Chains A and B, each alone.
Chain A
Amino acid sequence: MTATGTASAAPAPVLKRRSPYPGWFFLPAAIIYGVLFLLPTVASLYFSLTRWTLFNSTFIGLDNFAQFLREPFLIKGLINTILYAVITSGLKVVLGLLLAVLLTSQVAARGYLRSVVFFPVLVSTVGVGITFTVLMHPTNGMINEGLALLGIKGPGWLVDPNLALYSVALVDVWKGVGLATVIYIAGIVAIPKDYYEAARIDGATKLQNFFEITLPLCRPATSTVIILSFIGGLRTFDLIWAMTRGGPGFASDTVASVIYKQYQAGFYGLSTAGNVVLFVLVAALVIPLTMLLNRKQGHE
């Protein structure tokens, strides 16, 4: 009796010690993420304060950051980054929502339209960049030739310093609007049909439907789209690099392209300082934005 008692008691602590959800499941991911993402991120805080050749580093305090704030083209890159992120995320919200409303309505060829809007999301950014660089050629490019047919003289999309950044931003919207549309479609489909039926009985117009029902009830989708595309916009590099290399001059440089240029030139400390600036910029803009969007959501 006692023998069986101890025998059955013995495995109990073993079972208790071995949770069915073992902590070591975190290990592989934690090691890779910790070593290759967290460690460099923390190290960047130190190396941004140094003059650095990868082999040895000299501590120079905040000189790299001072240089960032002194050089006009670096400041230009900072402003461009914010402009680019605001423009692309703003356009993606507006166009994505309008497209989603259209593509959840009784429009003909809905499946085709949904597919065709989404496909660019899957295609290589560099390929898209090169294609649009050719399409936006000031004299031979198809866009300007098309505009000429309508009697409009097209601008030098990528060669005009005042326009280059916006042209790249437009291509970014072309490529990315499909994702925003898909997220909005999910948001709109989730709205219960009863609201629209009740509104119809009350005699609401389509415009009222949109502003009083669809728009407010899509708020989770809106905040997802804004945050995703805003972070993407702040970090943008490949499209800028494929289309303008930050040019003409420094007209379309963003922080990410400045980081690459400084890295290529061997200014590793300055490049890393650029990374810290980008990091601070993302944190300073995205965290309050997230809180704002989530708070409004809470009031609904």
Chain B
Amino acid sequence: MTMIRKYWLSVVAILASIVVFLVPFAFIVLMAFKDQRQAALLDFSWPAGNALWSNVVEVVTTRNWMLVTAFINSTILTVASVTLLVIFGAMVGFVLQRRKTRFNGLIEFLILAGLMIPPAVVPTIWLLQGTGLFARLHGLVLIEVAYGLPFTILLYRAFIATIPRELDEAAIIDGARPFDVFFRVVLPLLWPVTVTNIVVQSVAIFNDFTNPLYFLPGNQNATVQLTLYNFQSQFSTSYNLLFTNIALITIPPLIVFLFFNRQIVAGMTAGAVKG
């Protein structure tokens, strides 16, 4: 009796997951294979022919290869921001966890504030214009770092608490300078949480739409999320192209997912429940 019930529950769960989660993704892929006329019907039918390649070519070459520019921009943005986030975030997490001073309370307050407070958009634009960073990729890199730091620091701090102090002390007795203690002893030990941070932040930054929309206007600077937004008006009658674009920009997160699924889940939960 319980066997049958357990069996039914599993079947229902799998069927529901297919309808709720897999069908929307299947829909995206099917649409990318259709030609314009069939895609306009918006239905969940099997593609009549295979228009995938011509769709891809058209999406990629349109507006002077904007999608290629966008992929390059998004890659630079993601790699640069995540690199800075990891190094600077780990440095703060390390000292904040190890050294107790009267400023710790203030720093922790600022970190929590950064997690909660919505960024003040227009004053930030004003500031970026004043410093010549507005509508520039490195300006957006710094913005992403500023907005990503609180969460990165939280994860690092929780993890550094589990690394024994004796290790730092041993290194110091062996004559290591503070700089070496951190970069050659501690940072390598932080690798598990660094992976989590890299994955979480790169997905967030790669998928970010709001900040590029505000701080990186202009077609030259488009990121992949903005191409979607720009193409949405241009391709409003060519759903095949719109969905080809969605399929193409979903590939990087899919790769991340295939490689890091377990680690993301483990790291996220470690941080979430402790933090």
- A20 in contact with B225 (CB, 8 Å): no
- Chain B residues 161 to 203 lying within 8 A of chain A, measured CB to CB, are 168-169, 172, 178-179, 181-182, 203
- A126 in contact with B118 (CB, 8 Å): no
Task: Tell me which of A68-76, A138-146, A160-168 binds B.
Answer: A138-146
- A23 in contact with B118 (CB, 8 Å): no
Contact of B99 among A21, A224, A242 (CB under 8 A): A21
With A21-B95, A119-B257, A142-B44: A36-B120 Cβ-Cβ less than 8 Å: no
Would you give the 0/1 interface string for B11-27, flagging 1 where the beta carbon is closer than 8 Å to chain A? 00110010011111101
A47 at the interface (CB under 8 A from B): yes
A95 to chain B, nearest CB (A): 11
A49 at the interface (CB under 8 A from B): no
Q: How far is the CA of A186 from the CA of B117 in the complex (A)?
A: 27
A59 to chain B, nearest CB (A): 15
Q: How far is the CA of A44 from the CA of B43 in the complex (A)?
A: 47
With A36-B124, A39-B127, A120-B21: A237-B210 Cβ-Cβ less than 8 Å: yes
Contact of B146 among A33, A102, A134, A235 (CB under 8 A): A33
With A21-B95, A40-B127: A124-B207 Cβ-Cβ less than 8 Å: yes
A152 at the interface (CB under 8 A from B): no
Q: How far is the CA of A37 from the CA of B229 in the complex (A)?
A: 26
Q: Please name the residue on chain A nearest to B41 by beta carbon.
A: A140
The residues of B that contact A196 with a CB separation of less than 8 Å are none
- Chain B residues 10 to 53 lying within 8 A of chain A, measured CB to CB, are 10, 13-14, 17, 20-25, 27-28, 41-44
The residues of B that contact A179 with a CB separation of less than 8 Å are 268
- B14 in contact with A109 (CB, 8 Å): yes
The residues of B that contact A39 with a CB separation of less than 8 Å are 123, 127
Task: Tell me which of A197-205, A208-216, A272-280 binds B.
Answer: A272-280
- A125 in contact with B273 (CB, 8 Å): no
The residues of B that contact A122 with a CB separation of less than 8 Å are 203, 207, 253-254, 256-257, 264
The residues of A that contact B221 with a CB separation of less than 8 Å are none
The residues of B that contact A91 with a CB separation of less than 8 Å are none
- A38 in contact with B17 (CB, 8 Å): no
Interface of A is mostly: helix
B188 to chain A, nearest CB (A): 17
What is the size, in residues, of chain A's interface with B at 8 Å between Cβ atoms?
88
- B120 in contact with A35 (CB, 8 Å): no
A292 at the interface (CB under 8 A from B): no
- B246 in contact with A23 (CB, 8 Å): no
Most buried by B among A22, A40, A241: A40
Q: How far is the CA of A79 from the CA of B107 in the complex (A)?
A: 33
B227 to chain A, nearest CB (A): 10
The residues of B that contact A174 with a CB separation of less than 8 Å are 20
- B99 in contact with A126 (CB, 8 Å): no
With A20-B181, A40-B127, A190-B273: A32-B149 Cβ-Cβ less than 8 Å: yes
Would you give the 0/1 interface string for A173-187, flagging 1 where the beta carbon is closer than 8 Å to chain B? 010000100110111
Q: How far is the CA of A145 from the CA of B44 in the complex (A)?
A: 10
- B253 in contact with A268 (CB, 8 Å): no
Would you give the 0/1 interface string for A40-59, flagging 1 where the beta carbon is closer than 8 Å to chain B? 11011001000010100000
Q: Nearest 9 pairs between A and B by C-beta?
A: A186-B269, A44-B120, A108-B10, A40-B123, A36-B146, A21-B99, A25-B91, A140-B42, A40-B124
Q: Which residues does A use to contact B, with CB under 8 Å?
A: 18-23, 25-26, 28-30, 32-33, 35-41, 43-44, 47, 52, 54, 102, 106-109, 112-120, 122-127, 130-132, 134-135, 137, 140-142, 145, 174, 179, 182-183, 185-187, 190, 220-221, 224, 228, 231, 234-235, 237-238, 241-242, 256, 259-260, 263, 268, 271-272, 275-276, 278-279, 282-283, 286
Report 12 cross-chain contacts, Cβ distance below 8 Å, ordered by A residue. Answer: A20-B181, A21-B95, A23-B99, A29-B89, A29-B153, A44-B122, A47-B126, A54-B126, A118-B264, A124-B250, A131-B243, A272-B121
Known: A125-B207, A242-B209, A282-B116. 17 other contacts (CB 8 A): A21-B95, A25-B92, A28-B91, A32-B84, A40-B124, A41-B119, A114-B265, A118-B265, A122-B254, A126-B228, A130-B242, A141-B42, A224-B272, A231-B115, A231-B116, A272-B121, A279-B118
